[in-house]
A and B are shown apart, each in its own frame.
Chain A
């Protein structure tokens, strides 16, 4: 599995880790990682430490996640981005929507 989820003990924080190429092939897995939960977490962390590549479908998936988590009221952080991934996120100005580090 290249998408791994982890929920904190109190159910309030969801961490989604993506490994390898974050592209269209990950679409179903990524959606299921947050749609299948019983609880709605207060905050979400997307961990890209092991992600090697990000394309526009991945950006679309992040938008879907944000929409699902409450849109403008959501709290989503994208962490451990490599410099390549950070560059892609910067060009698309996604730091205006997500907390990126």
Chain B
């Protein structure tokens, strides 16, 4: 960047030889380098070849006059400012106005005054340098902007790899996500757990752009990793909250709704921290039950204070859960009025075909806003029969050489542990070290979870599953469960695992005992299978998915077997 004391190159365009000579000498004496031209055409040519910093232009010249030459030179200069000072003995204001119109920046009257000329050259040069700075900064900003766009593209590509390891394409899920979702902070994840249950997360990070993406990635990894291992919502939530609390700045957090949809048990487990109400839609009655936020968003509370309590609702085949981001509620019209929950309720009321809910909402938003935009996310999940879904088999990354084939282990989980620890994921991981069992990981997980929860809830806590006959009964059951668990001081659940070779394959025996009152085994086993009942299906499930299921010790002890053939 030139400083104010460096010499300039000045073009003097003047047809009078004497005046040209005089002016050149004056300007040279001021320390500048001088170029000359005797007419307008020559002036343009010299400008093109030498690109002087400043032009002194006589107004009246032959061939091409000063006005035309000035316009041409200004065009050639483009972004940059090349100051043009008209040399003139024109006095009428009309003529002077012409100079300005032609692009002149100043005048110098004849007879030439050296002092005035020096002052004008200095002033014009200052303007020229200012313009050059502005143009350079503009170009810098444009380059920087391009870098940022590219960085965002890269972040999005990395994120897409993580986000799309899920099951959003399952046939019972419908969703709408803004293409700019990541950069609005919206997150939508879905995955099957080993039992075939579906976990879903709809989240909304504070902020936009890279900060939101940076938080979303570890969250997605926790969600997918822990779901695949069979962890429950509570454990996954605790881990996600702790992670975000640790890595995000104090003022960043993630509002989120998490669902666990169980197709076997026909229930949905819900946790909503800071998101707008979700809705549970009863397909028979048409009633939509709101699922409001009962928790602070993820990443706000310290792990010790985090509340992982979920709510469980029963569902029937065909029922749906609908979640939306606050982009829908906050859509505003010309008068800055928000669409609001009222707008949404109106769409619900008017909706005739549940399959068209998304279209109805989009249309309503379009009508409200006057244009179509896509800065919101929605997801709807339907409860279907378990056989209708095909969860992909889990992928294992080890070589298969070191499978443990002959071992036993026993665990005893006592009151203080039962309160805050779910051993299922660990036990499952342990069992999946046995390669022969991997093909049955779904059944294994379902059966063991069922046996464990029966032992805990009906055995140790003494809960009566007949409470779960309707929605309010369900809520009561889970409230009671949490209360009794909080107060638990005695009791235990024992789990015994025995793996032995059998022929070319092997056998697993699982025994689960609890310290409870037991139950009338014969009566329960004699009950017919009733798929409409919300409870009591656990025993039939266990019998269906495993071998030699039997109960002893008055129902306090359950035993099942799994077999596998030699692996190919």
A residues bordering B, Cβ < 8 Å?
A: 56-57, 59-61, 63-64, 67, 72, 91-94, 96-97
A63 B274 Cβ-Cβ under 8 A: no
Given contacts A57-B206, A59-B206, A60-B206, contact A93 B251 (CB under 8 A): no
A97 B296 Cβ-Cβ under 8 A: yes
A64 B296 Cβ-Cβ under 8 A: no
- Classify the interface of chain B: helix, strand, loop or mixed: loop
Cβ contact of B296, chosen from A60, A67, A93, cutoff 8 A: A93
CB contacts under 8 Å to A, within B221-260, are: 250-253, 255
Chain A residues contacting B253 (CB-CB under 8 Å) are 59-60, 63
Given contacts A60-B206, A63-B300, A97-B300, contact A92 B255 (CB under 8 A): yes
Chain B residues contacting A67 (CB-CB under 8 Å) are 250
B residues bordering A, Cβ < 8 Å?
A: 204, 206-207, 250-253, 255, 273-276, 292-297, 300, 302, 305
A91 B250 Cβ-Cβ under 8 A: no
A97–B292 CA distance with the chains assembled, in angstroms: 18
Cβ contact of A64, chosen from B250, B255, B292, B305, cutoff 8 A: B250
Other than A61-B251, A93-B274, give 11 A-B pairs with Cβ distance below 8 A. Answer: A56-B255, A57-B251, A60-B253, A63-B250, A63-B251, A67-B250, A72-B305, A91-B292, A92-B255, A97-B296, A97-B300
A63–B297 CA distance with the chains assembled, in angstroms: 12
6 closest cross-chain pairs (CB), A and B: A60-B251, A92-B274, A56-B206, A93-B296, A67-B250, A64-B251
Residue of B nearest to A91 (CB): B293
Chain A residues contacting B292 (CB-CB under 8 Å) are 91
Report the minimal beta-carbon distance from B110 to chain A, rounded to whole angstroms: 56
Report the minimal beta-carbon distance from A27 to chain B, rounded to whole angstroms: 9
A92 B250 Cβ-Cβ under 8 A: no
Report the minimal beta-carbon distance from A81 to chain B, rounded to whole angstroms: 17
Residue of A nearest to B275 (CB): A91
Residue of B nearest to A53 (CB): B336
Given contacts A59-B206, A63-B300, contact A93 B250 (CB under 8 A): no
Report the minimal beta-carbon distance from B324 to chain A, rounded to whole angstroms: 13
Chain B residues contacting A93 (CB-CB under 8 Å) are 273-274, 293-297
Report the minimal beta-carbon distance from A65 to chain B, rounded to whole angstroms: 9
Given contacts A63-B300, A97-B300, contact A92 B293 (CB under 8 A): yes
Residue of A nearest to B296 (CB): A93
Tell which of B250, B251, B273, B302 has the most Cβ of chain A within 10 Å: B251
